[in-house]
Amino acid sequence: MTTASPVLLAFDGSHIDGSLFGSVTGFARDTKWLNSPVELWTNAGLGVFAVLMAVGWWQARRRDARAMTLALAAPVCVVAAFAVAEVVKKLVAEVRPCYSLPHDYYVAACPVRTDYAFPSGHETTAAATVAALFLLDRRLSAIAAGFAVLEGFTRVYVGAHYPHDVVAAAVLALPVAFVASLLLGRIGLPVVARLRTGALESVLTASRRAAHAAR
């Protein structure tokens, strides 16, 4: 007795918001002059979130131990949210739009069938950064939120994800990263406080002169 392949049983998400997806990719077809810049940004743009976390760390050197703990926890929170999203992705097993809607317009190349779409990994990273920075610096978090919206749009524009893949990624990543930030901010505080006066002082604390000038 043979069993059906997991690939053949993969979920078809086009019935949820396939028409909205088609509207966005139709816009991409009508703005081909934007295709290359958007395709470049949708991947390279993730670097912005790494930069924002680095800025958070740099500024935390002039603040207290709690701020530095939250800064160091930020990338860990993003990784935690991404790991949860990957588990969900394997459980749902939603095939990419290019397989369910092969006649739509696509900027990005179609990945292998087992590279599932739900939720969006890129948007998970973006939204998780928003939440991971929220307790550290609201301004950095707000900037990250703006870029996260842009990231989500580009994922649909290039045809990599349905809109619900992007929304689900944000819904999943925001609470996971925020709770992780809360927990790590408390658990790691004593350790970071000790390290700031030890061998890692130069990495975790600005010089007294710089810190005084910052005030």
For residue 130, which of 114, 115, 157, 150 has the smallest C-alpha distance?
A: 150
What pLDDT is stored for residue 199 in this prediction?
64
What pLDDT is stored for residue 38 in this prediction?
94
Do 189 and 68 form a contact (C-beta atoms < 8 A)?
A: no
CATH code where residue 83 lies: 1.20.144
Q: Tell me which residue has tokens 């809109």.
A: 163
Q: Please check whether residue 108 lies inside any domain of the structure.
A: yes
Interaxial angle between packed helices 121-134 and 46-60, expressed in degrees from 0 to 180 and rounded to the nearest 10 = 20
Q: Please check whether residue 165 lies inside any domain of the structure.
A: yes
Do 75 and 131 form a contact (C-beta atoms < 8 A)?
A: no
Q: Please check whether residue 131 lies inside any domain of the structure.
A: yes
Q: Please check whether residue 103 lies inside any domain of the structure.
A: yes
Amino acid occupying residue 18? G
User: Which residues in the chain show pLDDT less than 50?
Assistant: 1-8, 209-215
Q: Please check whether residue 38 lies inside any domain of the structure.
A: yes
pLDDT digits (tens, 9 = 90+) for 145-187: 999 999 999 999 999 999 999 999 999 999 999 999 999 988 8
Question: Mean pLDDT over all residues of the chain?
Answer: 86
3-state secondary structure (DSSP) of residue 13: coil
Q: Please check whether residue 12 lies inside any domain of the structure.
A: no
User: Alpha-carbon distance 33 to 209, whole Å?
Assistant: 50
Number of domains in the chain: 1
Joined together, the tokens standing for residue 85 give 């999203």
Q: Containing domain of residue 168, as a range?
A: 17-207
Q: Please check whether residue 53 lies inside any domain of the structure.
A: yes
Q: Please check whether residue 187 lies inside any domain of the structure.
A: yes
Joined together, the tokens standing for residue 155 give 């994922």
Nearest 5°: phi and psi at 112? -65, 155
